[in-house]
Amino acid sequence: MKKQISKWLTILIPLFIGIGIIYYQYTTLKPDEIDKIKRSFQKANYSFIVLSLMIACVGYWSRAYRWKFALNHLGYQTKFHNNFFTVCVSYLVNLTVPRSGEISRAALLKKYENVPFDKAFGTIVAERIVDLLIFLLFVLIGFISQFDAIYQFLLSKNVSLQYLIYYGIAAVAMGVIFLLIWIYAEWPIILKLKEKLSGLIEGMTTVLKMKDKWKYIFHSFFIWISYLSMFYVAIFALPETAEISFDIIIMGFIFGSLAVGFSNGGLGAYPFSIALIFSLYGISNDIGIAFGWLVWTSQTILAILLGLISYVLLPVFNRNK
């Protein structure tokens, strides 16, 4: 019973957060702003949205191709179409429960390629760690380039930069302490955890030991460049956003990426964060919301279509399984 409640809560809480944000946005918009948003969707140049989706597909392909390097290192020669289909299905599943797609991805690979779940999942965790480091690099570049604008915004909200620095230092210190305990401690509970997570750890450390690690790293950067390019191309869909500077684009990209984890696939949170960031640079709220919904809707439709098609094709391409 508790497991069922927990399962439903992981689905419903992010969903309610997304619906709550949508409700808040809708109720705070004036009638003329709603009309402007509708007109923005009508006059949008959808050829740029299609181009954005094509770039997104390249990112899907690169993620599936990158995965083979980690799996090969563990001794598993998987078929590329199975890697690609499971990646696409994972994007679809992530729309229901945030980050649940990683579990489904490892489970499907076990079913169709006989890769042990813990090792497949370990390679996926390693991917997420690498992706996080690259994303933090984007964040660092964005915040350095926009330090003055961010600092003035924090001051306007009565947020002390000094306290943020203290919290950051404390978080890093706690992380270092945990890492040292994990590596050097001989406590029974740590040793037991290491034994149970041995397959997961093996998958996670593949990046450091694999033969093709530089190809893996190249595709890791390529994936994030494709994400940024996808976002960049989409700005030309609306006349009001076509002339915005790259500084604004990278900040919108950063906060849009963060918003995806707040609700199911970024429902409500993604357009809200884009509008908030754009408003800091003088772009009207209605245009920011319209652009956010345009990008989010198109990417969500792509994830649904590719996910459903891949889920159908997996048993077709693996009839002997």
pLDDT, one tens digit for every residue, the chain (321 residues): 555 555 454 545 555 555 666 655 656 666 666 777 788 888 889 999 999 999 999 999 999 999 999 898 888 999 999 999 999 999 988 887 777 788 889 999 998 999 998 888 888 888 888 888 899 888 888 877 777 766 666 666 565 666 667 777 887 888 788 777 777 777 777 777 776 666 566 656 667 778 888 899 999 999 999 999 999 999 999 988 988 888 888 888 998 888 887 767 777 788 888 988 888 888 888 888 889 899 998 998 999 999 999 999 998 888 876
The predicted structure's pLDDT at residue 37: 77
Answer whether 143's CB lies under 8 Å from 225's CB.
no
The predicted structure's pLDDT at residue 125: 84
The predicted structure's pLDDT at residue 41: 80
The predicted structure's pLDDT at residue 126: 85
The predicted structure's pLDDT at residue 74: 84
Q: Is 105 helix (H, G, I), strand (E, B) or coil?
A: helix
Residues listed for the chain: 321
Distance between CA 55 and CA 53 in Å, rounded?
Answer: 5
Q: What is the DSSP letter of 206?
A: H
Which of 52, 17, 321, 76 shows the shortest CA–CA distance to 202? 76
Q: Is 211 helix (H, G, I), strand (E, B) or coil?
A: coil
The predicted structure's pLDDT at residue 201: 65
Please give the distance of CA 200 from its chain centroid, rounded to a whole number. Answer: 21
Measured at the CA of 136, the angle between CA 22 and CA 303, to 5 degrees, comes to: 45
Q: Is 160 helix (H, G, I), strand (E, B) or coil?
A: coil
Give the global pTM. 0.80
Residue with tokens 């969903």: 15
Dihedral sign of CA atoms 40, 42, 47, 49 in order: positive
Answer whether 258's CB lies under 8 Å from 250's CB.
no
The predicted structure's pLDDT at residue 233: 95
The predicted structure's pLDDT at residue 268: 79
Distance between CA 107 and CA 86 in Å, rounded?
Answer: 9
Distance between CA 187 and CA 251 in Å, rounded?
Answer: 44
Q: Distances from the Cα of 168 to the Cαs of 67, 122, 132, 156, 165, in angstroms?
A: 32, 28, 16, 21, 5
Answer whether 101's CB lies under 8 Å from 90's CB.
yes
Distance between CA 81 and CA 285 in Å, rounded?
Answer: 42
State in Å, rounded, how far the first CA of the chain is from the last one: 33
